[in-house]
Amino acid sequence: MKKIVEVTKSPSETFNIGFNLASKINSPTIIGLSGELGTGKTIFAKGVAEGLGIKELITSPTFLGINEYYSGHIPLIHMDFYKKVINKENLDFYTKKNAVILIEWFENFNSVFNTNLKPNITVHIKYLRDQNDIIHDNERQIIIEIG
Q: Which domains, and CATH codes, for the chain?
A: 2-146 (3.40.50.300)
pLDDT tens-place string over residues 28-39: 899 999 998 889
Select the more confidently predicted residue: 131 or 16. Answer: 16
Q: What integer is the mean pLDDT of 113-135?
A: 84
Q: What integer is the mean pLDDT of 31-59?
A: 92
Alpha carbons within 13 A on the beta-carbon side of 34? 13
Share of the chain above pLDDT 70, in %: 85
pLDDT of residue 85: 56
Q: Which of 96-105, 111-120, 133-142 has the lowest mean pLDDT?
A: 111-120
- Rounded Cα gap, residues 72 and 67, in angstroms: 14
Q: What integer is the mean pLDDT of 76-96?
A: 73
- Rounded Cα gap, residues 97 and 34, in angstroms: 22
User: Is 146's pLDDT higher than 80?
Assistant: yes
Instruction: Categorize the per-residue pLDDT at 112 as very low, low, confident or very high, splitting at 50, 70 and 90.
Output: low
pLDDT of residue 49: 96
Q: What integer is the mean pLDDT of 125-132?
A: 89
